[in-house]
C-alpha cells in the first residue's frame, strides 16, 4: 500500500505514507464523507520543508501513528536545525464524525532549539466520481474560507442546494494563521516535547460542530473495538499464518462497519467503496455469520429499505430488485449519475434471499423472516417476472441505463464475459452462478415457508427450483469440457470459457454426482488453480490475462464462495488445496491481509503478484479467512430443525483447531479438532444451542478412532 487509510462509520481519511494529503499521488487523497472530498490538502512542514519519514504503518485499524524527522537545514552557513534532531509524531483517529490529529514535536538536540511547524490545508469538496475521473458535470462553487481565533472553516455551495463545510479547530491558537495555513513557533529543550491537537469535522447541511474531547473520543472508540473483539468466537491453531489471517480479517471487517439507520453492515471496501453495496455487503455478511450474525440482520434490513419499487431504466430499477450501490455526492443528488441508488446488478436479489435463509439457519430468528416477508415476496416476483426476461426459466441481465454497468454479475468489467473464440458475449446474459443463487434461495425459502405453515408456497418454490435444476444442467453443461459454461448469451448459446463462476453453484446443490467431482477437479487443476488460489479464468482461454481484473486474476472472495460449496459437498482435498494456497499468498501482502484481488500468475514464478489498484481493506476479502474456519469444521447449522451438521478437517501441518463460543441459535458451540498419531479426532467441548450435532459416518469414524 502506498497510502494510509482510516475509517469510522461514514468518514474516512486517505493520505500518503507520511500522513499528508497531497495532489502528487496516484490515489485521490483526502478526507471523505458522503462521497465528497471534504479536505483536499493537509501537509505538515518543519521550517517550510517536508519532513523525512521514519516509520509508517497501516496495520492498526483503530488509529494511525507516523514518525517523521527533520532534514538538515542551514542558511548561509549558519545552522538552523541539525538533521534528525526533531522527532515529529503524528497520531490520528476518527470518532463521532471527527478526525482527531495530534502532532507531537520532541527535541533530541543537546541545547534549546527553536523551529516552526506549519500545516497547509484546503478543501475542494469534489464529488467522488469527479475525483476518480469517472464522471464530470455541473457542480457548485466554493466560498472564501473563514478564519477566527478558534477555527478555520472552508465553505461550499453545492449544485444540489446542499451547503458543505469543513471546520478545523485547535486546542491552542497558532502563532500565525492564514486562510490556508496554520503556523506554530516551537521552542524546546533537549528531551522536551509539545503536542498540538486538531479536530477536523466535515459538516453537511445544518450539522453543527460538536466534537467531544480527544481523550473521551479515544476511549469510546477503543471500547467499541474491544466490544467487537470480545463478542467474536475465540479460535486457536498451531499455524501462525492462519491465526494472523483470521485476526486481520475480523479487525478489517470492524473498520468497514457502517450504519445508515437499519443496523450495522459492511461497506464494500476502501478507499473507493465505503458505501452500501448490494452484492459485496451481502457476501461479507454471509462470511461473517459464524462470527457476528447481527451483521447479517443489519445488512438485510438495509437492503430491504432500499429495495426497488418502480420501473426506472435510468437506474436499472424494477420492483423487488435489490440495489447494487448507493452514492450520496453532488452528482448523484442532482441526478447526473444514477446511483441514488443504482440497481444494475443481477445477483444481489437472490443473494439477499440466500442471506436471509442462512441467517435463520444460524439464529432461528423467524421473526426477521416474518418482518421481511413483503420484501421476500417482492424479490421472488422480481426473479420470476423481471429477472427472467424471456420466460425461459433463467435469470438474465441487460443494461438499460446509459450511465450504468454493462456486465451486471460480480465480474462486472466490460471484458469479463467472453466466448472461447475471443468474442464478447451479447446481452441479455444468463450467468451460471446466478442460477445457483436462485436455486439455493428458492429451496431454502421453501423450508422457511413450510416451517411457517405456508405449504403451498413451499411446494411452488420447490417445483420451480427443480425445474431450474434440470434446465441448468441441460443448458449449461459442456460435455466436451466436462464443465459448465460461465453463461448463456443473447442467442442462448453457451459462453464456454472455463471460469470460476460455476464453482459458486456447488453450495446450492445444483450440481450432483459425477459432475460435482468433475467441477471440483477442474477448479483445482493447474488451468484454474495458480498455486495461490483459483483464478477467475483458466489459463489458455482466449480471454485469459493474469494481470486483468476478472479474466485470470485471483479473487479471495470468489474462492470463499467456492469453499462454501466444496465444504457442503465434502470435497476435502480441494478444500485443503484452496485454503493452503490463499494462506501462502497472504504471506506476500502487507499485514497478512488478503487484498481484493491479486494477479493470477503461477506460484512457480515466485511470490504472489500484486494487482496495482486493489482495494485494501476490502470486506469480502477480509471475510474470506473466516470461511476457512467454517470449511474446516464442515459446519452448517439448521436451528429451526435443531440440527448442526459437522464434517471436520485439518490442513496439512495443522495439528489442532479449537473454536470456542460460536453463537448458534440462543446458545454456543465449542469444538476441538486435533490430530493424534496421524488421526483426526473431534471433541464437542460445549453445546448449549439446543441442536443435535450430526456427523457423517465418515466423520464419526474419524472422531472415534
Q: Are residues 388 and 418 part of one domain?
A: yes
CB atoms within 10 A of CB 371: 15
Q: Please identify, among 191, 222, 253, the residue that sits at the C-terminal boundary of a domain.
A: 222
Q: Give pLDDT tens digits for 586-606.
A: 999 988 899 999 999 999 999
CATH number at residue 63: 2.70.98.40
Q: Please identify, among 201, 222, 243, the residue that sits at the C-terminal boundary of a domain.
A: 222
d(CA 511, CA 489): 21
Q: Please identify, among 189, 222, 255, the residue that sits at the C-terminal boundary of a domain.
A: 222
Residues 6+ apart with CB under 8 A from 221: 8, 62, 93, 94, 95
Predicted pLDDT at 705:
39
Q: Are residues 250 and 197 part of one domain?
A: no
Residue 577 included in any domain: yes
CATH number at residue 444: 1.50.10.10
Q: Are residues 618 and 656 part of one domain?
A: no
Q: Are residues 574 and 666 part of one domain?
A: no
| 3-state SS, residue 317 | strand
Predicted pLDDT at 23:
87
Q: Are residues 392 and 254 part of one domain?
A: yes
Residue 638 included in any domain: no
Q: Are residues 572 and 437 part of one domain?
A: yes
Predicted pLDDT at 704:
40
Asked if the peptide bond before residue 617 counts as cis, ω within 30 degrees of 0, the response is: yes
Predicted pLDDT at 698:
58
- Give the residue numbers spanning the domain of 345: 232-633
Q: Give pLDDT tens digits for 330-371.
A: 999 999 999 999 999 999 999 999 999 999 999 999 999 999
Locate cell 472508540: which residue? Answer: 221
- Determine the straight-line distance between the first and last CA of the chain, rounded to whole angstroms: 48
Quote the number of domains for the chain: 3
d(CA 159, CA 501): 42
Residue 256 included in any domain: yes
Residue 150 included in any domain: yes
Residue 610 included in any domain: yes
pTM for the complete prediction? 0.95
Predicted pLDDT at 583:
97
Predicted pLDDT at 210:
80
CA distances from 29 to 68, 103, 253 (A): 19, 20, 22
Q: Are residues 657 and 570 part of one domain?
A: no
Q: Are residues 681 and 614 part of one domain?
A: no
CA distances from 454 to 6, 134, 360, 451, 639 (A): 48, 48, 17, 8, 19
| 3-state SS, residue 366 | helix
Q: Are residues 575 and 685 part of one domain?
A: no
Number of H helices, E strands in the chain: 17, 33
Q: Are residues 82 and 182 part of one domain?
A: yes
C-alpha cell at position 420: 472461447
Residue 482 included in any domain: yes
Segments of the chain scoring below 50 in pLDDT: 701, 703-705
Beta carbons of 405 and 397 less than 8 angstroms apart: no
Residue 207 included in any domain: yes
Q: Are residues 83 and 123 part of one domain?
A: yes
Residue 227 included in any domain: no
Residues 6+ apart with CB under 8 A from 614: 595, 596, 597, 598
Segment 559-563 long-range contacts (CB within 8 Å, at least 24 positions apart) = 559/500, 559/533, 559/534, 559/624, 560/287, 560/620, 560/623, 560/624, 560/627, 561/283, 561/433, 561/503, 561/504, 561/507, 562/500, 562/503, 562/504, 562/506, 562/523, 562/534, 563/627, 563/628, 563/631
d(CA 200, CA 453): 55
d(CA 153, CA 176): 16
Predicted pLDDT at 58:
79
Q: Are residues 168 and 37 part of one domain?
A: yes
C-alpha cell at position 79: 545552522
| 3-state SS, residue 402 | coil
d(CA 408, CA 346): 6
Beta carbons of 523 and 534 less than 8 angstroms apart: yes
Amino acid at each position: 500500500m502506498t497510502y494510509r487509510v482510516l475509517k469510522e462509520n461514514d468518514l474516512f481519511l486517505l493520505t500518503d505514507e507520511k500522513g499528508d494529503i497531497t495532489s502528487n499521488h496516484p490515489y485521490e487523497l483526502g478526507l471523505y464523507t458522503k462521497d465528497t472530498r471534504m479536505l483536499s490538502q493537509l501537509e505538515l512542514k518543519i521550517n517550510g520543508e517536508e519532513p523525512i519519514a521514519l516509520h509508517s504503518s497501516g496495520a492498526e485499524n483503530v488509529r494511525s501513528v507516523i514518525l517523521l524527522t527533520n532534514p538538515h537545514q542551514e542558511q548561509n552557513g549558519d545552522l538552523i536545525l541539525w538533521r534528525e534532531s526533531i522527532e515529529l509524531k503524528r497520531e490520528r483517529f476518527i470518532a463521532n464524525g471527527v478526525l482527531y490529529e495530534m502532532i507531537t514535536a520532541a527535541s533530541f538536540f543537546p541545547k534549546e532549539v527553536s523551529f516552526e511547524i506549519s500545516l497547509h490545508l484546503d478543501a475542494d469538496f469534489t464529488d467522488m466520481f469527479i475525483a476518480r475521473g469517472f464522471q464530470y458535470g455541473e457542480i457548485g462553487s466554493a466560498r472564501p474560507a473563514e478564519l477566527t481565533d478558534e477555527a478555520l472553516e472552508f465553505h461550499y455551495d453545492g449544485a444540489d442546494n446542499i451547503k458543505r463545510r469543513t471546520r478545523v479547530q485547535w486546542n491552542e491558537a497558532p502563532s500565525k494563521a492564514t486562510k490556508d495555513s496554520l503556523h506554530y513557533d516551537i521552542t524546546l529543550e533537549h528531551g522536551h516535547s509539545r503536542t498540538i491537537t486538531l479536530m477536523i469535522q466535515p459538516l453537511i447541511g445544518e450539522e453543527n460542530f460538536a466534537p467531544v474531547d480527544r481523550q473521551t473520543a479515544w476511549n469510546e472508540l477503543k471500547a467499541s473495538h474491544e466490544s467487537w473483539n470480545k463478542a467474536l468466537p475465540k479460535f486457536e491453531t498451531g499455524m501462525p499464518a492462519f491465526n494472523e489471517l483470521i485476526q486481520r480479517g475480523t479487525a478489517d471487517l470492524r473498520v468497514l462497519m457502517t450504519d445508515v439507520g437499519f443496523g450495522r453492515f459492511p461497506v464494500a471496501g476502501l478507499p473507493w467503496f465505503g458505501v452500501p453495496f448490494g452484492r459485496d455487503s451481502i457476501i461479507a455478511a454471509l462470511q461473517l455469520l459464524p462470527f457476528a450474525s447481527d451483521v447479517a440482520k443489519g445488512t438485510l434490513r438495509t437492503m430491504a429499505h432500499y429495495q426497488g419499487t418502480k420501473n426506472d431504466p435510468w437506474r436499472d430499477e424494477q420492483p423487488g430488485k435489490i440495489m447494487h450501490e448507493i452514492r450520496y455526492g453532488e452528482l448523484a443528488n442532482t441526478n447526473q449519475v444514477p446511483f441514488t441508488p443504482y440497481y444494475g446488478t443481477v445477483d444481489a436479489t437472490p443473494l439477499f434471499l440466500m442471506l436471509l435463509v442462512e441467517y435463520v439457519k444460524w439464529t432461528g430468528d423467524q421473526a426477521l423472516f416474518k418482518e421481511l416477508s413483503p420484501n421476500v415476496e417482492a424479490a421472488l416476483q422480481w426473479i420470476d417476472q423481471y429477472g427472467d426476461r424471456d420466460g425461459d426459466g433463467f435469470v438474465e441481465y441487460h443494461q438499460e441505463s446509459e450511465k450504468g454497468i454493462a456486465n451486471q454479475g460480480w465480474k462486472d468489467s466490460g471484458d469479463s464475459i467472453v466466448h472461447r473464440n475471443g468474442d464478447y458475449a451479447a446481452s441479455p446474459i444468463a450467468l451460471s452462478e446466478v442460477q445457483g443463487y436462485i436455486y439455493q434461495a428458492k429451496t431454502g425459502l421453501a423450508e422457511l415457508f413450510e416451517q411457517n405453515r405456508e405449504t403451498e408456497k413451499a411446494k411452488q418454490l420447490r417445483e420451480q427450483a427443480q425445474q431450474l435444476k434440470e434446465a441448468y444442467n441441460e443448458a449449461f453443461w459442456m460435455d466436451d469440457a466436462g464443465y459448465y459454461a460461465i453463461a448463456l448469451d443473447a442467442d442462448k448459446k453457451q459462453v464456454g470459457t472455463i471460469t470460476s463462476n460455476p464453482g459458486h453453484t456447488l453450495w446450492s446443490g445444483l450440481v450432483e454426482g459425477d459432475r460435482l467431482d468433475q467441477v471440483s477437479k477442474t477448479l483445482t487443476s493447474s488451468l484454474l488453480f495458480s498455486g495461490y488460489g483459483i483464478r477467475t479464468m483458466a489459463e489458455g482461454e482466449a480471454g485469459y490475462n493474469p494481470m486483468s481484473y476478472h479474466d485470470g486474476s485471483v479473487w479471495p472472495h470468489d474462492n470463499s464462495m467456492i469453499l462454501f460449496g466444496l465444504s457442503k459437498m465434502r470435497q476435502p482435498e480441494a478444500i485443503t488445496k484452496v485454503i493452503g494456497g490463499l494462506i501462502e499468498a497472504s504471506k506476500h501482502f502487507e499485514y497478512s491481509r488478503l487484498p481484493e484481488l491479486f494477479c493470477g500468475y503461477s506460484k512457480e514464478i515466485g511470490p504472489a503478484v500484486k494487482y496495482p489498484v486493489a482495494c485494501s481493506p476490502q470486506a469480502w476479502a477480509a471475510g474470506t479467512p473466516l470461511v476457512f474456519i467454517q470449511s474446516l469444521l464442515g459446519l452448517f447449522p439448521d436451528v429451526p430443525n435443531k440440527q448442526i451438521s459437522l464434517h471436520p478437517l485439518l490442513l496439512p501441518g495443522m495439528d489442532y483447531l479449537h473454536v470456542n463460543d460460536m453463537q448458534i441459535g440462543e446458545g454456543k458451540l465449542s469444538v476441538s479438532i486435533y490430530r493424534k498419531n496421524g488421526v483426526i479426532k473431534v471433541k464437542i467441548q460445549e453445546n448449549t444451542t439446543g441442536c443435535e450435532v450430526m456427523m457423517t459416518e465418515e466423520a464419526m469414524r474419524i472422531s472415534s478412532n
